[in-house]
Amino acid sequence: MRLTEYLAVDHANLQLYIGAVAFAKAAQCYALRHSRLDPNVRWFSRNLPKFLGETAPYSRNPELAELASLEDALNAAFEA
């Protein structure tokens, strides 16, 4: 649950674009596959664009991966 909340903070525009319910479902699917890759929560969302681009049904809408990539870039620029 906390990981999906973190994704919502890190990808607020994506959540607005697809809606809270659809975002929660996508975030849960992503968390099941990626929660153990890195113990640092800061890097948890780094594979979200790839996940959205390669995983059905999200891959049918390439703008989802593009929006997630854009938000990742903006977050990285802000931290820099």
Token pair 């989802």: residue: 64
Rounded distance between C-alpha atoms, residue 58 and residue 34, angstroms: 16
Give the tens place of pLDDT for each residue, 40-65. 677 788 899 999 999 999 999 999 99
Structure pTM? Answer: 0.86
Any idea which residue has 């990742």 for tokens? 72
Q: How confident is the model at residue 1 (pLDDT cuts 50, 70, 90)?
A: low
Reported as a pLDDT band with limits 50, 70 and 90, residue 6 is confident
> Both tokens of residue 37?
């890759």
Q: How far is CA 78 from CA 10, 40, 71, 72, 75, in A?
A: 12, 18, 10, 10, 5
Q: In sequence order, which residues have a C-beta less than 8 Å from that of residue 46 and are 6 or more positions away?
A: 38, 72
Say whether pLDDT at 20 is over 90. yes
Instruction: Give the count of domains, the chain.
Output: 1
